[in-house]
Each structure stands twice: as structure tokens, then as C-alpha cells.
Structure 1
Amino acid sequence: MKVKTEGTFDASHFLENAGKCGNLHGHRWRIKVSVKGEMNGDLLWDFRNLDEVIEELDHTHLNETLDFNPSAENISIYILNRFKNDYPDLEFKIRVYESPKSYAEIETNEY
């Protein structure tokens, strides 16, 4: 079984050692989550799991909220690890868009 969900949040950040992106700026971030696994009951995975992540990050300054350099790549790893820890039997693909055409993507078997 596969399920997919997505959501958005607004947050500011800056990237260390990244030219113009080293300046404080903000994005409307979009996260897409794909989940694959065996059904054990009525739900494979609760969509509210993504809502919890979005609530944590929405309208924050990511450099203060997270303890790592908040690039799209690092945020995708953070979300993947969070979901893998809670659901080790499921496979995930995480996409983190920082603009409509630019995103980082990671899957369970890549990290």
C-alpha cells in the first residue's frame, strides 16, 4: 500500500557559506511525503504526522528552531529520520521544496 500527503509552511532561514542565501530570507516551504508498507489494520500511516512537523516549523526562523544548517537537503533528512524512528517498518520518500521548481528528495534506502 502507498499513501501520499503534502503540506506547506512559511519560515525564514539563512544558509551558512552559501552566497546570497547566506542572507536572512524566507520561503513558503512545501513538503511531500510518500509512505509505502504493509497494512496492519485500517491505516498505513496517519496523515497528521506531517501536520505535526508543519506546526513545529511554521512561522519560525529555522536557524533557531533546528540544530543544523536548514537547507532543503538537511530538512528532508530531518523529516525522514523523524518518521523512520517512529515507523521503522515503513518506507518513506520525502520532498522538501523551497520554491515551486527547486526541491531536495530523499528515500528510506538512500540514507
Structure 2
Amino acid sequence: MLKVAKEFSFDMAHLLDGHDGKCKNLHGHTYKLQVIVSGETENSGAKKGMVIDFADLKKVVNDLIISPMDHAFIYDQSSEREIKIAQFIFQRLKENVGFHLHSVRLWETPTSFAEYGEE
């Protein structure tokens, strides 16, 4: 089985209600999203040799995730916010696509990410 990934970015604001640090204030991040698809390569046709056409993946992710979430405000009292957002993105894509979604990774900062997928 092969895995391929495509990365996206979007801006989103949030705050951590009840947090004792500076994140209790309204602030934003430029999130990086990596969508990982797995499968075998196509054996014939226009997409021969591809697990998925990156143009098709880009359109689906932009329509279902990026457009509605870009410049949005998320209010959640949970400190597990990135995990919940990654899970939401995974479930939304899984329910609406015809390819095998392996996992999603969501970076809040260049050094911190949450990953969600199913075995």
C-alpha cells in the first residue's frame, strides 16, 4: 500500500476559555493541514500510476474544509481543540469522498501538530 499527501493552509481564530496563559485571549494561527491518502496505484486510464490525482484531492479538501474554515472563529472550552479539529476534518472528508483516507495532520504551529486517522 502506498501513501501520498497534500498540504493546505488556512487561518483561524480561537481562544482557550479558562486557560491560565496568554492563549486565554482571542488570537489566531495559520494552520497547516496535511491530508494523507493510501491505496494502490491505478492500473489504467488517465490516472494510471496515481493513488489519487492531487487536483481532485485539492478540490475536495478546498470545498469541504478550507473554504468553510478559513478565517473562522472556533470557540471550544476544551484543551484538546486541535485533536477535535483534526478528528472533525477526518470524519468530514471520510463521509464525503470516494478514496481511502489514511489520516490528517493539523499543525497549530510549525512544531506542534495533532494527527487523527483510523486503523
TM > 0.5: yes
SS state of the match for residue 86, structure 2?
helix
Partner of 1:11: 12
Give the aligned length. 106
Q: Please report how far the alpha carbon of residue 68 of structure 1 lies from its aligned counterpart in structure 2 after TM superposition.
A: 8.4
Instruction: Rate the CA distance shift 1:28–1:49 in 2: closer, same or farther, 3 A.
Output: same
Instruction: Assess if the C-alpha contact under 8 Å between 2:17 and 2:77 holds in 1.
Output: no
- Residue 3 of structure 1 aligns to a residue whose secondary structure is strand
Partner of 2:102: 92
Q: Which runs of 5+ in 1 are unaligned?
A: none
- Tell me the CA shift for residue 18 of structure 1: 3.4
- What is the rounded CA distance, in whole Å, between the counterparts of 1:68 and 1:54 in structure 2? 23
Q: Which runs of 5+ in 2 are unaligned?
A: none
Q: Quick check: 1:36–1:90 contact (8 Å CA) kept in 2?
A: yes
Q: d(CA) in 2 for partners of 1:7 and 1:55? A: 11
Shift of 1:62: 2.1
How much identity, in percent, do the aligned residues show? 31
Shift of 1:22: 2.8
What is the Cα deviation at residue 60 of structure 1?
A: 1.4
Shift in alpha-carbon separation, 1:89–1:31, aligned structure 2, 3 A? closer
TM-score (ref. length: structure 1): 0.77
- Residues 58-73 of structure 1 mapped to structure 2, 5 A cutoff: 58-63=70-75, 71-73=81-83
Which residue number corresponds to residue 54 of structure 1? 66
Task: List per-residue Cα deviations over 1:35-88 (Å, max 9, x = no partner).
Answer: 00245663636222222211111111123xxx8858111110001111221247
Larger radius of gyration: 2
Separation in structure 1 between the aligned mates of residue 8 and residue 99 of structure 2, nearest angstrom: 23
RMSD across aligned positions (CA) = 2.6
